[in-house]
Amino acid sequence: MIRSITKPKSKEEIDTLLDGLNRIFIIGCGTCVTLTRTGGAPEVAAMKEALLDSGKLVTGQVVVPVACDNLTSEILNEEMEKIEQADVLLIMTCAFGVQTVSSQLKRMVVPALDTLFIGKETGYGQFNEICTQCGTCIIGETGGICPVTNCHKGLVNGPCGGTNQGKCEIDSNKDCAWTLIYNRLTELGRLDSMRKLQGPRNFLGEPTPGKYEISKS
Amino acid sequence: MISSFQKALDSGKFIVTCEVAPPKGINLEKTAHHIDLLKDKVDAMNLTDHQSSVMRYPSLGGALMVKEMGGEPILQMTCRDRNRLALQGDLLFAASRGIHNVLCLTGDSVMLGDHKKAKGVFDLDSSQLLAAIRILEKGKDLGDNELDGSPAFCAGAIVTPEAKPLEPQLIKFEKKIEAGAEFIQTQAVFDLDKFKSFMEYARQFPVKILVGIILLTSAPMARFMNKNIAGVNVPQPLIDEMAQAPKGGAIVKGIEIAGRMIKAIHTEKICDGVHIMAIGKEELVPDIMAAADLTP
C-alpha cells in the first residue's frame, strides 16, 4: 500500500512558525503518520507535553482516522468548540492532510512534519520511495524498476560514473537504481532493453499543478 | 571545421591532453599561467565544468581563454546545471567562438559540492548530450527546429574501466559511442593489467581512447581516492611506493610513477593517448611528460 512518508520538522522551525501563536489545537492522523510514528496518538501526546513545557496552551487534540479524507471535516466539527479557542492548528499529518484541513476549516494551520515522498514500507521502520508520479512511465523497459525515482539523477540510459559497488554516489546506504535494473534485466534475459539509447525525457507528462478529468465523452 | 585536436586524433600519433581548472573567482592569473605553460606541450587541454559540483569560473570562459591564448581547448560540459535549452545554446556559442571539442559528462550530484541545496538539473544525460551535438551538426535542434548556421564538434565522453560492477558501465560506454562519441578520456587508471583487458574489449569500437592518469601527491591522497572516488583503485604496491618516498619527495615520486605508467602505455601501444590529471598542480604536467619521455 502506498504511503505518504514524513519526518518531524525541527523544534526550532516549529517554534518559529508558532511564534506569537499561544493557543494551539493539535491534529494527528491514524494512517500513514501512525505507521511512520510521526503523527499518531503517541506523537500527538508528546507534542502536547512539549508545547505545555514551552508555555503554550493546548486547547485540545485529536487523531483523525484519515486526515486527507473528505470526512475529516465532520470529525473536526465535533471538536469545533476547542478548535475555535485556538490561534492555530498544529497538524501532525502529511501535507495532504494539512491542506485538506486547511481547505475544510479555512483556519491558520502550521505543519509539524515535512512530507518526504510517496513510498512504501520495505522493512520494519524502513520506507522507500517508489514512484514520483512523473506522468510518463518508462518501467516497461527497465524491468519494472523506476530509474526516474530510484536514480538520484533520474537517468534513463544507465548508471553515472559515481555508482560504486551497486550503491549511489550520494549515499552508500542507497542502492544504485541502474545496478538493480541491470541485475533484474539480466535475470529476465532482457538486457537488450538497457542497450537501447533513450532520447531526452518528456518532462511534460502532466505540467504542475496536476489536474485530470475523466473524459465526459 | 576540423579542430587541431581532431586532426591529432586522426593522425594516429600518441595524444596528450591535460586538465586546467578555472578559478574560484575572477583572478585568472594562475589559470592563464597554466595555459601559457601547457598550450604548446599538449594536444588539447580540458576545461573542467564546476568540477566535483564546486562553483567556479565557467568551463566556457576557460575554453575561450585557451582559444584566445592560442591553445586548443576541450570544453567539458556536464548535464548537472543546465537544461537542454541552455546546453544547446552554450554549444552554439562555443562553436561560434572557435571551440570545437566537447567532453560530455553527466556530472556529479550537487550534494558532493559546495552548493548542496541547489537543484540538480539532469534534463539530459551524457549520451543524450552527445546525440544533441550530432543533431545540432545536422542543422536542427532538439525541438526539431531549423538552425541558421550549424556548428561542428569533435565530441567525447568518459568511461570508468574499473567500475564495479563493470558491465552496466560498458553498456553505457557503448551507448555513448552509438550517440556519437569520437574520443574517450577514462577515469583514473593505476592498474595497467586491468586496463589492458579493458582495451582488448574497447578496441572493437571506432573510438580513440585516452587513458586517465592522476598524479599521486602522497600516500594519504591515494588512500583518500580509493575510499572516496568511485572506480579509482590505487594498488597497495603503489601506495607503499609513495609512502616510502623520502620526506618532501612524494611529489617527485608521484611524477616518476605517472611518467612510468604513461611510458609503458605509450611504448606498448596500449591505447591512443593519455589524459593527465594533475589536480591543482598543472605546472607539473611538463615534468610528467618528461618522465614519460614524451616530447611536445
pLDDT tens digits for B171-191? 999 999 999 999 999 999 999
Task: Tell me the per-residue pLDDT of A139-155, one tens digit each, with 9 for 90 and over.
Answer: 999 999 999 999 999 99
Q: Which residues pair with A170 in a beta bridge?
A: none
A158: nearest CA in chain B?
Answer: B172
Q: pLDDT-based confidence at A216, cuts 50/70/90?
A: low
**CA of B123 to nearest chain A CA: how many angstroms apart?**
7
A197: nearest CA in chain B?
Answer: B175
Interface test with B, best of A150, A157, A176 (most B CBs within 10 A): A157
CA–CA gap between residue B56 and residue B54 (Å, rounded): 6
List of domains in chain A: 3-116 (3.40.50.2300), 131-195 (no CATH)
φ and ψ at residue A151, rounded to 5 degrees: -90, 125
pLDDT at A99: 97
Task: Tell me the per-residue pLDDT of A192-210, one tens digit each, with 9 for 90 and over.
Answer: 999 999 999 999 988 899 9
Q: What is the mean pLDDT of chain A?
A: 96
pLDDT at B7: 97
Q: Pick one of 3.60.60.10, 3.20.20.220, 3.10.180.10, 3.40.50.1240 as the CATH number of B4-215+273-280.
A: 3.20.20.220
Q: pLDDT-based confidence at A69, cuts 50/70/90?
A: very high
Contact A159 B172 (CB under 8 A): yes
Interhelix angle B167-179/A177-188, nearest 10 degrees: 100
CA–CA gap between residue B183 and residue B6 (Å, rounded): 9
Q: Is the dihedral of CA A180, A181, A184, A187 positive or negative?
A: negative
pLDDT at position A217 over 60: no
Q: Is A90 helix (H, G, I), strand (E, B) or coil?
A: strand
Q: What is the mean pLDDT of chain B?
A: 97
DSSP B102-141: EEEE----GGGTT-TTSPP--SS-HHHHHHHHHHHHTTB-
The average pLDDT across B14-26 equals 97
pLDDT at B280: 87
The average pLDDT across A73-97 equals 97
CA distances from B107 to B41, B60, B117, B178, B207 (A): 28, 16, 16, 20, 22
φ and ψ at residue B23, rounded to 5 degrees: -80, 165
pLDDT at position A176 over 70: yes
Q: What strand order describes the sheet that includes A57-64?
A: A57-64, A23-29, A88-91, A109-111
How many CA atoms lie less than 13 Å away from B73 in the CB half-sphere?
Answer: 33
Of B84, B160, B167, the CB nearest to A161: B160
Beta strand A171-175 with A167-168: parallel, antiparallel or unpaired? antiparallel
Percent of chain B with pLDDT over 70: 99
Amino acid at A192: D
Q: What is the CA radius of gyration of chain B?
A: 18
The average pLDDT across A120-142 equals 94
| B chain contacts of residue A169, beta-carbon cutoff 8 Å | 108-109, 112, 230
pLDDT at position B296 over 80: no
The average pLDDT across A165-170 equals 96
A161: nearest CA in chain B?
Answer: B160
Residue B11: closest CA among B272, B286, B275: B272
Task: Tell me the per-residue pLDDT of A52-68, one tens digit each, with 9 for 90 and over.
Answer: 999 999 999 999 999 99
Interface test with B, best of A134, A148, A160 (most B CBs within 10 A): A160
CA–CA gap between residue A157 and residue B126 (Å, rounded): 9
The average pLDDT across B204-220 equals 97
